[in-house]
């Protein structure tokens, strides 16, 4: 069974897609960029602040689906500059603290929506 997940604790979609879709025991979270859902703006201009906001957005979606970071099985990180990898990685580790790390891939891309520095998508699974 498929169910669309939508929460005010993450920014609304800026295109024809859902924040997340739950299919059976899997949750597919669309790529999250660092938009603050309360203000609708990108407040941080550095990789540290933007990464924290992305994870806050992901957390809001996971919680709406009754899940948490410990349920994430795969993450894909899109970086505007691979030089930001170490800083992103430190923050990433904070959010998965105490859990087994999910599988992951990180790639540098030429451009991201709204010219942000990072976008992350995750897939979660919960029995």
Answer whether residue 4 shows pLDDT above 80: yes
Average pLDDT, integer, range 33-48: 98
Answer whether residue 39 shows pLDDT above 90: yes
- The share of the chain scoring above pLDDT 90, in percent, equals 94
Burial class (CB in 10 A: 0-12, 13-18, 19+), 111: exposed
**Distance of alpha carbon 91 from alpha carbon 30, whole angstroms:** 20
Q: What's 89's domain CATH number?
A: 3.30.1330.40
**Predicted confidence band of residue 36 (pLDDT cuts 50, 70, 90):** very high
**Distance of alpha carbon 33 from alpha carbon 113, whole angstroms:** 8
| Residue span of the structural domain in which 8 resides | 2-125
Cross-strand partners of 51 = none
Q: Quick: pLDDT tens for 74-114.
A: 999 999 999 999 999 999 999 998 778 999 999 999 999 99
pTM: predicted TM-score of the whole model, two decimal places? 0.97
């Amino acid at each position: 069974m498929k169910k669309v997940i939508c929460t005010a604790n993450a920014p609304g979609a800026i295109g024809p897609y859902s924040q997340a879709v739950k299919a059976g025991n899997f949750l597919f979270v669309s790529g999250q960029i660092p938009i603050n859902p309360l203000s609708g703006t990108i407040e941080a201009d550095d990789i540290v602040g933007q990464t924290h906001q992305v994870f806050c957005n992901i957390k809001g979606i996971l919680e709406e689906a009754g899940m948490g970071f410990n349920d994430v099985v795969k993450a894909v990180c899109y970086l505007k500059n691979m030089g930001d990898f170490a800083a992103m990685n430190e923050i990433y580790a904070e959010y998965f603290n105490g859990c087994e790390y999910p599988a992951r891939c990180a790639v540098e891309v030429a451009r991201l929506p709204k010219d942000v520095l990072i976008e992350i998508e995750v897939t979660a699974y919960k029995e």
